[in-house]
């Protein structure tokens, strides 16, 4: 895999620890000379990749790779199916990748999706110094391992999301406050929007303000889920005619992209422009424990 490391860890916190433990298990498998893990980032356009050559190797570093490169690992993430075989067997489907392996100790490879609840969360890859049999039973065992690691990853993210973050801003005295968690899944954006709408309806907030808040919050939560390696928390505060919504990620997510007005398909930068146009004020804050984005609406 090719890629460039960023200025800081692309993946941090409990997911980083999960990756270390998973690589320990993967590098302990027979005839594996190197193992790697890839987790989608940036709406699936990039993968955060890390690897190890032996159990207990520390520290784990991360780099970003293009999710559209024609390599077995990307195929496993994109299609949700395992890609296994000797280099000779993979030469027709991934010739450029196989050519890059010439002269290395790698003679065979297995790229296997990490799956939980029917969703592909990423993939792991095994580089073999000797080609295994890759019989049907062996491939099923690898798929089962991908399911076990995927379920552990899902549980790790869910548990991390359940812990409120003490660094969220302190509400004014007498203000109404609601706090809810959003899972690390793009499908969780819709339920978060419904949660906000129900909360504001219960507080009798003006319908126009509530609809604008739901739209702006959706953009911030979408950015949080796409660019951070965990879920997030949403804090909603209503008092003295001012609505404040804060979306906070634990850990150290990568910097958000600058909007490119020449690219009509770049949704995330344009989402932030939408927040800028609709909110009375908005901004973002980073500290050693996480990243927050917030906006206010005045009645």
Report the alpha-carbon distance of residue 284 to residue 103 in Å, rounded.
48
Share of the chain above pLDDT 90, in %: 47
Report the alpha-carbon distance of residue 53 to residue 28 in Å, rounded.
10
Give residue-wise pLDDT tens across range 88-125: 999 999 999 999 999 999 999 999 999 988 889 999 99
Report the alpha-carbon distance of residue 111 to residue 123 in Å, rounded.
7
* End residue of a domain, out of 120, 138, 161: 161
* End residue of a domain, out of 114, 134, 161: 161
Question: Greater confidence, 35 or 273?
Answer: 35
56 and 157 share one domain: yes
Give residue-wise pLDDT tens across range 195-225: 899 899 989 999 999 999 999 999 898 888 7
Residue 234 exposure: Cα atoms within 13 Å on the Cβ side: 32
78 and 28 share one domain: yes
138 and 45 share one domain: yes
* End residue of a domain, out of 161, 196, 217: 161
- pTM tops 0.75, yes or no: no
142 and 256 share one domain: no
What token pair was written down for 145?
């391992």
Give residue-wise pLDDT tens across range 241-289: 999 999 988 765 544 444 443 443 344 455 678 899 999 999 988 765 6
41 and 157 share one domain: yes
Residue 91 exposure: Cα atoms within 13 Å on the Cβ side: 7
CATH at residue 143: 3.30.450.40
- Mean residue pLDDT across the chain: 83
Number of compact structural domains in the chain = 2
* ∠ CA 28-40-185, rounded to 5°: 110
Distance set, CA 177 to CA 105, 180, 183, 292, 298 (Å): 58, 10, 20, 17, 16
CATH at residue 276: 3.30.565.10
From the CB of residue 131, how many other CB atoms can be counted at a distance below 10 Å? 17
Domain hosting residue 241, numbered range: 176-298
pLDDT range class, residue 59, cuts 50, 70, 90: low
253 and 152 share one domain: no
Report the alpha-carbon distance of residue 135 to residue 129 in Å, rounded.
18
Q: Is the dihedral of CA 74, 78, 83, 89 positive or negative?
A: negative
116 and 80 share one domain: yes
198 and 294 share one domain: yes
Q: Could you tell me which residues are beta bridge partners of residue 123?
A: 38, 113
29 and 155 share one domain: yes
Put the strands of the sheet holding 46-52 in their side by side order.
Answer: 63-66, 46-52, 32-41, 119-128, 108-116, 83-86
151 and 233 share one domain: no
Supply the pLDDT for residue 210: 96
Q: Is 6 exposed, middle or buried (0-12, 13-18, 19+ CB in 10 A)?
A: middle
Q: Is 56 exposed, middle or buried (0-12, 13-18, 19+ CB in 10 A)?
A: exposed
Report the alpha-carbon distance of residue 255 to residue 165 in Å, rounded.
20
Share of the chain above pLDDT 70, in %: 80
Give residue-wise pLDDT tens across range 60-71: 688 888 888 889
């Amino acid at each position: 895999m090719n890629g460039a490391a960023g200025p800081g860890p692309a993946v941090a916190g409990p997911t980083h620890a999960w990756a270390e433990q998973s690589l320990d298990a993967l590098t302990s498998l027979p005839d594996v000379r190197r193992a790697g893990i890839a987790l989608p980032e940036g709406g699936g356009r990039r993968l955060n990749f890390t690897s190890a050559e032996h159990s207990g190797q520390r520290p784990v570093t991360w780099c970003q790779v293009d999710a559209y490169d024609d390599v077995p690992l990307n195929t496993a993430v994109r299609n949700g199916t395992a890609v296994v075989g000797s280099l000779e067997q993979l030469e027709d489907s991934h010739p450029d990748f196989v050519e890059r392996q010439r002269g290395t100790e790698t003679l065979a490879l297995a790229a296997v999706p990490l799956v939980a609840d029917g969703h592909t969360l990423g993939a792991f890859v095994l580089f073999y110094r000797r080609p295994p049999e890759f019989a049907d039973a062996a491939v099923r065992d690898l798929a089962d391992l991908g399911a076990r690691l995927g379920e552990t990853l899902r549980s790790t993210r869910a548990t991390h999301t359940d812990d409120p973050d003490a660094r969220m801003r302190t509400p004014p005295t007498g203000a109404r406050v609601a706090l809810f968690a959003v899972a690390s899944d793009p499908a969780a954006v819709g339920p978060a929007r419904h949660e906000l709408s129900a909360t504001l309806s219960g507080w009798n907030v003006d319908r126009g303000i509530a609809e604008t808040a739901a739209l702006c919050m959706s953009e911030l939560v979408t950015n949080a889920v796409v660019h951070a390696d965990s879920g997030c928390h949403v804090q909603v505060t209503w008092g003295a005619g001012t609505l404040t919504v804060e979306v906070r990620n634990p850990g150290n997510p990568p910097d958000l992209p600058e909007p490119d007005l020449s690219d009509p398909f770049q949704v995330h930068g344009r989402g932030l422009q939408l927040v800028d146009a609709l909110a009375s004020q908005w901004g973002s804050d980073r500290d050693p424990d996480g990243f927050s984005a917030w906006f206010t609406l005045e009645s």
